[in-house]
Structure 1
Amino acid sequence: MVRRSSVPAFSPERFAPTPERPLRAKSRMLEHQTDIQPHRHDWGQLVFSMTGAVRVSTEASTYIVPPSRAVWIPPGVVHAVTAIERCDLRTLYAGPGLLTGAAWQAGRVLEVSPLLRELVLALPAVPDPPPAEDSADTERRRGIEGLVLVELRRARPLALGVALPQDARLRRLCEAMLREPGRHAGLDEWAAEAGASPRTLSRLFREQLGTSFAQWRSQLLLAHALTLAARGRPMSHIATELGYASASAFTAMVTRTVGMPPSRFFAEA
């Protein structure tokens, strides 16, 4: 069994956006299988990793993203972060009114352009009180903040979220699959572990998530596969780690799910 650790949310209020500093950056190293405890705040948050994949979870969804992707979390949403591997975590806090419209009212995965990545790195990642600035420093920071907002509004959304159920029994099963997606391939094996019948679980997937077990698992496997592909793992290794008997079987699943072979999907996504 993997040894896990849990850490607090690192005093997010010390990085709260203000009218003078509407965008605040924060950095934190997280070891493999470290969880940041669930928390919420009154401002929006963009979370991504410079190195290493992370999982961001809310009550409704979970998002598994490699370094080239970020998760947007709207204000007031309870969320937790897990380091799937050792990662250099970066957080961008956005003050009220900076990102408005229906698209910013829900969590989603966004593409991180090379420019956005460097702009976030250029923002001071220090808590209050921030360092003193002269007029040139202030002008530069405000220019960076403006460009960050431009890049965020242009960022391409990606369908990499996995919905989570409210039913406690199904929720425990889905969480187990998130931790070890390749442990079982079929619903019968997962049902036996959960102590429920396959028919009951199949019904709960339909009622709670509006999808079948197979469709939900495919989305989960795609998210995990993307993080492995981002680390340069060959297709055969990805297929084995996710519980497929062969690379061709894994390729067939990806092609059936997204309408294109893995090589193209990973390149585009």
Structure 2
Amino acid sequence: MPTPILTHNFPVTASYFPTMERPVRLVARNLKISQDLAPHSHPCGQITYTPQGMLQVIAEGTVWFVPPMRAIWIPPDTVHEVRLLTESNLRAIHIHQDFSPLSKKHCLVLEVSSLLRELIFSLEYTESGSIREQHLVQVILDELIAAKPLPIYLPMPKDKRLKNLCEILLTHPASNETLKTLANKVGASSRTLTRLFEQELHMSFGDWRQQMRLARAYPLIANGTPLSQVASELGYASQSAFSAMFKKTFGVSPSSFFRQAE
């Protein structure tokens, strides 16, 4: 019997994995917010996508936020964890490593075009092993090659104290607590944490918190959340303050940025 890959709520067995004859397989699961997927890996590559909901994927010491307009490529044998930020319709597209249209080395976030979204939807309801499935798979692979990569990610540390601090901020992105206050919560001095931020993440505490908020803001805006609400949820005093920070980083306002992405 195939050995299951254990996750929080369901096993993925070898029967789900692609073969040379069927190089792309789709696994569809509609998950509630409590049904996170524990760290695991696959021998094949995977596109993780949700047409409805929002995911947080942790892999390669990095956090990636995945809204419906985006997907994340996870290379073969990469240990990854999936956390649900809302109820989500998870669609995992497993791709045989010999047919991979993307780099086998690192994860990356991709734009999901309207065509790719409809192709994935059609694949879900297409007869397994049919000629139609073969045609859909070929176009899906072509669309993945053409998909635009996006540098929306958040590096995570290995040091336990620093990791605990970062997890606190991820859970409470609106928190404006000082490094000294947070240091007391994780059992380290602010001086030690400042040094660890520079050594492990090559950025300051303030820069990491801003990067975290940007990474968190991106899927919220992509999902249609009003900018005033995004600013409030991320701890900014006003929408204009958030927009100014966004423009300083990306060179354009949030509304202009997302119009360009459409």
TM-score, length basis structure 2:
0.90
Q: Which amino acid aligns with 2:77?
A: G
Comparing 15-24 and 233-242, the one that deviates more = 233-242
Q: Secondary structure at the match of 1:85?
A: coil
Q: CA deviation at 1:125?
A: 6.9
CA contact (8 A) 2:26 2:93 kept: yes
Q: How far did residue 12 of structure 1 move?
A: 4.3
Greater shift in the superposed pair: 212-221 or 152-161: 212-221
SS in 2 for 1:82: strand
Q: Which residues of 2 match residues 203-222 of structure 1 at below 5 A?
A: 203-222=195-214
Supply the AA of the counterpart residue of 1:154: A
Classify 1:184/1:23 alpha carbon distance in 2 versus 1 (closer, same or farther; 3 Å).
same
Contact 1:205–1:211, Cα closer than 8 Å, also in 2: yes
Contact 1:9/1:39 (8 A) holds in 2:
no
Structure 2 counterpart of 1:242, which letter? L
Matched, 1:98 2:94: no
The one of 191, 200, 204 equivalent to 1:199 is 191
State the 1:225 CA deviation: 1.2
SS at match of 1:109: strand
State the identity %: 40
2:8: which partner in 1?
A: 7
Q: Which moved more, 1:184-193 or 1:232-241?
A: 184-193
Aligned residue type for 2:210: S
For 1:182, which of 166, 170, 174 is the aligned residue?
174
- Distance, in Å, in 2 between the alignment partners of 1:223 and 1:9 is 28
Structure 1: distance between partners of 2:128 and 2:57: 33
SS in 2 for 1:104: coil
Q: Encode CA deviations 1:86-108: one digit per residue, 9 max, x unaligned.
A: 1111110000111266x331001
Deviation for aligned residue 1:32: 2.0
Residue-pair matches, total: 255
8 Å CA contact 1:226, 1:266 repeated in 2: no
Residues 239-269 of structure 1 deviation map (CA, whole Å, 9 limit, x = unaligned) = 1111112122212221222222222233335
Secondary structure at the residue paired with 1:251?
helix
Q: Give the match for residue 149 of structure 1.
A: 141
Shift of 1:224: 1.4
Q: Which residue of 2 aligns with 1:163?
A: 155
- Is the 1:33–1:84 contact (alpha carbons within 8 Å) kept by the matching residues of 2? no
Structure 1 residues 259, 132: closer, same or farther in 2, change over 3 A?
closer
**Aligned to 1:105, what secondary structure does the other structure show?**
coil
Query: CA deviation digits over 1:189-228, x for unaligned, max 9?
Result: 3223223222221211111011222222222111211222
- Give distance in 1, aligned partners of 2:200 and 2:181: 20
CA deviation profile, 1:154-200 (whole Å, cap 9, x unmatched): 10000111111111111121122222211235433322322322222
Q: Is the 8 A contact 1:55 1:65 kept in 2?
A: yes
1:13-42 alpha-carbon deviations (Å, 9 max, x no partner): 231101111100011111124311111110
Using a 3 Å threshold, how does the CA distance of structure 1 residues 239 and 12 change in structure 2: closer, same or farther? farther
- How far, CA to CA, are the matches of 1:91 and 1:132 in structure 2? 16
Aligned to 1:112: 112
Q: CA RMSD in A?
A: 2.0
CA contact (8 A) 2:119 2:140 kept: yes
Unaligned regions of 5+ residues in structure 2, if any?
A: 1-6
